[in-house]
Structure 1
């Protein structure tokens, strides 16, 4: 039974990762065909696309009565994004912070993490809580789109190279449109199907090993659903397109709370219960990590290699703590 659960989980993880990548390619290409500016694609479309596995997992977990997986996945994914992925990128090569919108994303990330903690203090996330988060998410995306116009030329060029505007003949080619809409549809189907298998396997493993749904969501599911962000960031690090990577990571961390958890809360009958462990440890930790980003980002306009190594080390210590004391 355990082996079968592991196979189901790994199969779901592969499908959801591949599905998210296909979905993201289709969505990004359609956005370029619609003449959406490359920097807007990078800061909004891509951030939302890489967060869709979390949405699929959250809705699936709620449907199976595993609300702690939905909450744990969001808190865990944001810790992976900032401490592990951003830290790993800086550890490989010091991470300059050139994007003007980083200031907006950083402040919003702090607000989102603190607000999530405050909304959870009554032990649940209601439909109204979800509506508040979703509205704030829409406001955030609107501000980011407006702020992106003020980015310097070299930053705009970096996004232009990553999301190249297609030639005119492609915009008029119905086959190109049809192909990318097919990619988008197939990506959505694969992501939903993969999420179902991933959650089924995770719940079964949790029962066998005596692990809580929260710990499963905070660890293997969070790491698994962060695969798109990890891949995007590592590739961007070695290609020297660091602004694309940072914008994606911070944007995803905000969207995970405001958009993803907001939608999940809205579509949950009643409310999502928040366990005491998540409420009093993981959510405060996620808020603390967001707050720590302020002095790190403001210090000298970059995340140094030393700071990156510290971030990764803290995440490893967090994982060890979860596996030793929370299982």
Structure 2
């Protein structure tokens, strides 16, 4: 039964992503904002819902390894495998604003997280912990990012107002229903995949932290995977990129920030290395995006290989 529910979850993710991307792109047209902005906000926040659900529940249950490993592992998964596979489907064009602002903000969030959890090396404490104060700092950075998005949305609407034709506006009701139904299917499908894959993994004797970095991280990132690939297949490059960049930012600032405010998270020593790897991968993404403002198929293959290497490393490490 566990394996059957796992397959049902995968099915809901695939079908839900198709409807979600379709509805989101039409809503972007209706609101007169760029698909990139929709990807950075509605799509990114929606596909990050499984991470938020899993990490908050894990924090409440005292499973710090799952809560933190889920976020760090998901961001590595997003930046390597998801962008890599999406680039293999279609060459990803990256907007200049994404290169100059959104990707650097993702890097900043990762560096801030590393600094906040380096209690042993920076303050001489016995353990590394994401405290409630650290959580509030992360949420404060989220407020700054949301303010930036509001300004981008306002400028986008003003610049497109002159060329907007009311006759071209898609029906709001139908696309809102499609988008919400797709998001609901994605979230519930992600829940089924995470719940049942975790049960299977624990039966195989995997540790809690390893489960968080691998099975749970991959499971909660499946909405980003199917959404980005579906967006790429539909030619919605901006949604595909915005989804990944926005999800990584929301995962660190919102998911971890809120989880830490609810319950402080103790950080295992090995997680510091995983955060350094995440920062290095984000720098690699930034360099790739700056070369021709695109991520080529060859670069997508390299990102996919990085993911395979990272998974091999943490499994051997245990």
Give the TM-score taking structure 2 as reference length. 0.79
2:64 aligned residue? 67
Between the aligned partners of 2:259 and 2:101, the Cα distance in structure 1 is 24
1:297 lines up with 2:284 in the alignment: no
> Does structure 2 conserve the Cα–Cα contact (< 8 Å) formed by 1:203 and 1:213?
no
Distance change (3 Å), C-alpha of 1:25 and 1:148: same
Distance in 1, matches of 2:295 and 2:179, equals 36
| 1:93 Cα offset (Å) | 2.8
- 2:312 counterpart of 1:326: no
Contiguous gaps of at least 5 residues in structure 1: 171-175
Q: Deviations over 1:15-59 (max 9, x none)?
A: 7x4898699689959977995745443321111111011000111
SS at match of 2:62: coil
Q: Hey, what's the Cα distance between the residues in 1 that align with 2:185 and 2:297?
A: 39
Aligned to 2:76: 79
CA contact (8 A) 1:24 1:49 kept: no
Deviation at 1:204, TM superposition (A): 4.5
Runs (5+) with no aligned partner, structure 2: 120-127
Of 208, 218, 221, the match for 1:223: 218
Q: Does 1:134 align with 2:125?
A: no
Match of 2:205 among 202, 210, 222: 210
Deviation readout 1:239-274 (Å, 9 max, x if unpaired):
222122111111111111011111111122xx1111
Question: Using the alignment, how far apart are the partners of 1:46 and 1:190 within structure 2?
Answer: 11
Match of 1:173 in 2: none
- CA deviations over 1:155-186 (Å, ceiling 9, x no partner): x79xx9xxx8544xx5xxxxx49x96898599
In structure 2, how many angstroms separate the alpha carbons of the residues matched to 1:8 and 1:215?
A: 22
Q: CA RMSD in A?
A: 3.8
Query: Which residue in the other structure is 1:52 paired with?
Result: 49
Deviations 1:88-138 (A, max 9, x none): 222333222125244211110100111111111121111111111111112
> Structure 1 residues 6, 32: closer, same or farther in 2, change over 3 A?
same
Please give the TM-score of this superposition, normalised by the length of structure 1: 0.77
State the shift of 1:213 in Å: 1.3
Matches within 5 A, 1:119-130: 119-122=116-119, 123-130=128-135
Matched residue, 1:91: 88
| Aligned mates of 2:182, 2:289 — CA distance in 1 | 38
Aligned position for 2:231: 236
- 1:81, 1:226 within 8 Å by CA — same for their partners in 2? yes
Equivalent pair of 1:113/1:286 in contact (CA under 8 Å): yes
Which of the numbers 280, 284, 289 marks the counterpart of 1:288?
Answer: 280
Residues 81 and 182 (structure 1), Cα distance of their counterparts in 2 relative to 1, 3 Å cut: closer
